[in-house]
Amino acid sequence: MPSTRAIVLGTLGAMGTTFRNAFRRATTLRYPKEKRTLPARWRGGSFALTFDPATGEENCIGCRLCEYICPSEIIAVTLRKGEARQNGIGATYADVFTLDYQACMQCELCIQVCPTDAIVMTRALAPATTTREGLFLSKERLMDNGRKLLAESELASEATGTKLREWTKAEGV
Amino acid sequence: MIGALILSALVLFVAMTVVAYMTWLERKVAARFQNRVGPYQVGIPHGWLQPLADIMKLIVKEDITPRAADRILFNLGPVLVVVPALLGFAFIPLAPGLAVADHAYSFLFFLALASLTLLGVFAAGWSSNNKYALLSALRMVALVASYEIPMILALLVPATLAGSLSLSGIVEAQRGLWFCLVPGVGQVALLLFLICALAEGNKSPLDLLEAESELIAAYNVEYSGIKFALFYAGEYAHTLAMCALAATVFFGGYLGPSFLPGFVWLFGKSVVLFVGVLWIRWSLMRVRIDQALRLNWVVLLPVALLNVFIAAFWASGR
């Protein structure tokens, strides 16, 4: 049992704290109207599938590494063999590529394992929607995000699989 | 007769509206204490339509009665909570000689009605057939039954000082000096009453019956829709009635400079007291049940008894 003095002082201290707080400015941002300035390396936007801007050939080779590593198991990829690409290498692609953004926890593991920098996280594509379907990213929507990424360079996040692997090697981690 | 009916309907309407807006005020004040904004989107200046939206939402929600529940008691519970809480307003004097029910013992009636809320809560907790609801209701009974004693002893002080058990008599006796300003006894009685009213109204730090980590929500776990809304309204009506009672017996009720009518003064004092309760509620942490009961029996009860004796001497010496 604490002393009476401690109880009284603690009570008064707590009430003083709330009283001081009552006259401070509210930190609330009214989201759709006001937007927080995002940090430079923010990656909580949405996902995108990149492609070669010159040929329009998608980078994803359907290797399913991102599907295997995803802790939330929200990525589903179906591997398909297709005809040889124009540069002669790589004959596989993702027939179906879906990402259920509802359960994504932004761990970035899928980006880290991607051997061809196909999947990236974007910086400021607003992910907020009012429907569940709005968070379900089909391959078409991911490719569409990739096109937006090419149009506006500040949307792209810092990290791609290659960059991360090079950084890991250089740091000797 | 007709006049009394109109007056009671008016008081009921105003009380219900004020209770609805108390929820808005509570959310706004709580947000203020936590550097938030609170309700803002519904209704243009500061979400003033939020209570109406809440009521609409709760009315259209599905009303579930659990299969294992005792149907009659389960449906009676919310009514038993709301009705006594609202009936209390009938005894509060609104202006000199104006109250819905002015009675020589209105003070006692008010307190008896305020305690009746307990029955509704226990009916709800028992009939839900849910162990958490039952434990919560049992805690409520233990707490309220013990805190009732120092509360009534604290309220005996204004009655002793006024020499009257009618609320209008107590208010009239405060024309010279508000009872909260009576040196010593007044402040002690007010403090005791506030602590006990927190326990009675299930407000933190004495809201043991809704300790979420132990008891999920409270005695109303199984309730949904409009019945839950009634519990919510009953809780706020009870708190508001307690604030109105404190304003009446300690702060001179309807007395005040005559440029405003009496009931405006009463309303203003009640709201200020309610904000004070919110300040306490959002500052302090919940205490344990044994701490709460020890505080009651070891500290509050002896102090309250002593205070009544001193007040009696004070009154007889005048």
pLDDT at B66: 85
**pLDDT tens digit sequence for A82-132:** 665 555 555 678 888 999 988 888 888 898 888 888 888 888 766 678 888
Residue A35 lies in a domain: no
pLDDT at A1: 66
Residue A59 lies in a domain: yes
pLDDT at A70: 92
- What is the rounded CA–CA span in Å between residue B82 and residue B15? 12
SS3 content of chain A, % helix, strand, coil (to 5): 35, 15, 50
**What single string gives the DSSP state of each residue in A119-166?**
EEEBSS-----SSSGGGEE-HHHHHHHHHHHHH-GGGB-S--HHHHHH
Burial of B36 (0-12, 13-18, 19+ CB in 10 A): middle
Cβ distance of B36 and A30 shorter than 8 Å: no
- Of the pLDDT bands very low, low, confident and very high (cuts 50, 70, 90), residue A71 is very high
CA of B202 vs chain A CAs: smallest distance (Å) = 18
Which portions of chain B are predicted below pLDDT 70? 318
pLDDT at A85: 59
Share of chain A above pLDDT 70, in %: 89
User: What range does the domain containing A155 cover?
Assistant: 42-171
CA of B52 vs chain A CAs: smallest distance (Å) = 22
pLDDT at A68: 92
Side chain identity at residue B16, one-letter code: M
Task: Number of A to B CB contacts under 8 A, please give it.
Answer: 36
Picking from A7, A9, A18 by the largest number of B CB atoms within 10 A of its own CB, the best residue to mutate is A18
Cβ distance of A27 and B279 shorter than 8 Å: no
Residue A6 lies in a domain: no
Beta strand ranges found along chain A (DSSP E): 47-49, 75-81, 92-100, 119-121, 136-137
Contacts for A75-84: CB closer than 8 Å, 24+ residues apart: A75/A99, A75/A110
Cβ distance of A18 and B31 shorter than 8 Å: no
Cβ distance of B284 and A15 shorter than 8 Å: yes
Residue A37 lies in a domain: no
**pLDDT tens digit sequence for B120-173:** 888 888 888 888 888 888 888 888 888 888 998 988 888 888 888 888 888 888
Q: B283 CB near a chain A CB, below 8 Å?
A: yes
Of B29, B37, B283, the CB nearest to A28: B37
**pLDDT tens digit sequence for A124-157:** 766 678 888 888 888 888 888 888 888 877 777 7
Which CATH number does the domain housing residue A156 bear? Answer: 3.30.70.3270
Residue A28 lies in a domain: no
Among candidate residues B285, B230, B271, B266, the one with its CA nearest the CA of residue B28: B271
CB count within 10 Å of CB A145 equals 20
Q: Note the ipTM here.
A: 0.72
Cβ distance of A15 and B33 shorter than 8 Å: no
- What is the rounded CA–CA span in Å between residue B217 and residue B210? 5
The structural domain count of chain A equals 1
Cβ distance of B35 and A19 shorter than 8 Å: no
- Greatest Cα pair distance, chain A, in angstroms, is 83
Q: B33 CB near a chain A CB, below 8 Å?
A: yes
Q: Taking a C-beta distance cutoff of 8 angstroms, is the pair B147, B289 a contact?
A: no
- What is the rounded CA–CA span in Å between residue B58 and residue B12? 21
Q: A24 CB near a chain B CB, below 8 Å?
A: yes
Residue A26: closest C-alpha in chain B: B35
Residue A14 lies in a domain: no
Burial of A148 (0-12, 13-18, 19+ CB in 10 A): middle
What are the chain B neighbours of A21 within 8 Å (beta carbons)? 32-35
Q: B37 CB near a chain A CB, below 8 Å?
A: yes
CA of A32 vs chain B CAs: smallest distance (Å) = 12
* C-alpha dihedral (B313, B316, B317, B318), degrees to nearest 10: 130
Q: A28 CB near a chain B CB, below 8 Å?
A: yes
pLDDT at A69: 92
Q: Taking a C-beta distance cutoff of 8 angstroms, is the pair A42, A157 a contact?
A: yes
Residue A151 lies in a domain: yes
Residue A108 lies in a domain: yes
